[in-house]
Amino acid sequence: MNSKIKVAIIGLGFGMEFIPIYQAHLNTEVYAVCRRNEEELNKVGKKFGIKKLFTNWRDLLDIEEIDAIHVVSPIMDHAEMAIESLKAGKHCACTVPMATSIEECKAIVREKNNSGKVYMMMETAVYTREFLYLKNLVESGKLGRIQFLRGSHMQNMGLEGWPEYWLGFPPMWYGTHAISPLLALAGTEAESVVCHGSGSISDKLAEKYGSPFAVETATYKLRDSNIIAEATRSLYETVRQYRESLDVYGDKLSFEWEQIQGENPVLFEGGENARRIVAPDTDDRLPKEIAKFALRESIIDDKHVSFIQGAGHGGSHSHLVNEFIQAILEERKSYADASVAANWTMAGICAHESALKNGERVFIPDFDK
């Protein structure tokens, strides 16, 4: 392309993390940003030198100059915003999860196919340092045959002032951080799931979505594979330090996530051999203009320690931006294309359905890709 891809970002809480990455990328321009709160919107515009500011996301759809829309809004808005962006002829990146129903997931896939545009679910868990380190172990053959996979995403949201829509949210509806790295490493889709709900949350929390469980744990049968993957998710009234974890067991090496933040994960190398490792930074995989955003958050030199905005979620943010933009430039599917994102998301939706049915096996819908 002779000109830069013009991107509009909807949602400037977490979404603000991506602005400096897009601004630094050689092939992109942050053309516009959108936030409901006009006062906060103006602050962001001033901070990053962005002139085109919007409080209504629908106003972006008719702007011909906008090539791509990055949705970083509350979960219940994801499906509608993605579908309408694609209908308007815009490429679409969307934070997780893709949607909260099977029907919405299928609708996004249909619209993506109809539009011919790029869709990407911006799943941080498949671009962290640890995931990319493990991906290399698997692809190089060093880990050997994968025998079992386990993921978790645990947080106690009741301790913080979260928005209203989060109250009582079914744990596995937001299960992609725990599920997607398992499926990505196995190189296949989730075919069916058995999930059990455990414990309970207060009636006040449970009544909003009809979801009574404190914890949901799912086991997945993977398509064309003898591997079983397990994922656990909790949101309320379960005490735990925040954790997004990934354990992988192979016949040559195995990897277990750290138990407590800061301990570092463990690599098992056969017999009694075990050692803690530090997953390497991944800046060498990126264009030099945005490589710094993949470095660890504390950048230390002989004078100071500074925070690099955009370096969160295991250094994944710059990889997400680069993959989305490269897919557009190369006119190909993104790594987390609509059909892939639908399986990762529906794996969680179907898990919650299974839990509500006392652990009945639920098959995850398949459709033409």
Number of domains making up the chain: 2
Residue 21: what are its φ and ψ, rounded to 5°?
-70, -50
Are both 172 and 297 inside the same structural domain? yes
In a domain, 340, yes or no: no
pTM: 0.95
Q: How many residues does the chain have?
A: 369
Identify which of 125, 351, 66, 329 has the alpha carbon closest to the alpha carbon of residue 233.
351
Largest CA distance in the chain: 62
In a domain, 78, yes or no: yes
Are both 118 and 159 inside the same structural domain? no
First to last CA, the chain: 27
In a domain, 339, yes or no: no
In a domain, 283, yes or no: yes
The owner of tokens 């987390």 is 336
Are both 133 and 263 inside the same structural domain? yes
User: In the prediction, which pLDDT does 293 show?
Assistant: 93
Number of other residues whose CB lies within 10 A of the CB of residue 240: 11
In a domain, 173, yes or no: yes
The domain in which residue 200 lies consists of: 125-312+345-363
Are both 358 and 293 inside the same structural domain? yes
Residue 195: what are its φ and ψ, rounded to 5°?
-130, 140
Are both 80 and 206 inside the same structural domain? no
Are both 99 and 35 inside the same structural domain? yes
Are both 223 and 107 inside the same structural domain? no
User: In the prediction, which pLDDT does 267 show?
Assistant: 98
Question: What is the CATH number for 67?
Answer: 3.40.50.720
List, for residues 139-183, the tens digit of each pLDDT value: 999 999 999 999 999 999 976 678 889 999 999 999 999 999 999
In a domain, 338, yes or no: no
In a domain, 353, yes or no: yes
Are both 110 and 234 inside the same structural domain? no
Half-sphere exposure (Cβ direction) of 136: Cα atoms closer than 13 Å: 10
Number of other residues whose CB lies within 10 A of the CB of residue 64: 8
Q: What is the 3-state secondary structure (H, E, C) of the chain?
A: CCCCEEEEEECCCHHHHHHHHHHHCCCEEEEEEECCCHHHHHHHHHHHCCCEEECCHHHHCCCCCCCEEEECCCHHHHHHHHHHHHHCCCEEEECCCCCCCHHHHHHHHHHHHHHCCCEEECCHHHCCHHHHHHHHHHHHCCCCCEEEEEEEEECCHHHCCCCHHHCCCCHHHHCHHHHHHHHHHHCCCEEEEEEEEECCCCHHHHHHHCCCCCEEEEEEEECCCCCEEEEEEECCCCCCCCEEEEEEEECCCEEECCCCCCCCCEEECCCCCEEECCCCCCHHHCCCCCHHHHCCCEEECCCCEEECCCCHHHHCHHHHHHHHHHHHHCCCCCCCCHHHHHHHHHHHHHHHHHHHCCCCCEECCCCCC
**Rounded distance, CA 362 to CA 200, Å?**
22
Are both 17 and 139 inside the same structural domain? no
List, for residues 4-43, the tens digit of each pLDDT value: 999 999 999 999 999 999 999 999 999 999 999 999 999 9
**Rounded distance, CA 152 to CA 138, Å?**
20
User: In the prediction, which pLDDT does 158 show?
Assistant: 79
- 55 and 38 Cβ atoms separated by less than 8 Å: yes
Question: What is the CATH number for 233?
Answer: 3.30.360.10
Let me know the angle formed at the C-alpha of 150 by 149 and 152, rounded to the nearest 5 degrees: 155
In a domain, 317, yes or no: no
**Rounded distance, CA 358 to CA 144, Å?**
35
Are both 98 and 187 inside the same structural domain? no
Are both 116 and 219 inside the same structural domain? no
Are both 160 and 189 inside the same structural domain? yes
Identify which of 335, 332, 333, 326 has the alpha carbon closest to the alpha carbon of residue 1.
326
| Low-confidence stretches of the chain (pLDDT beneath 50) | 298-307, 369
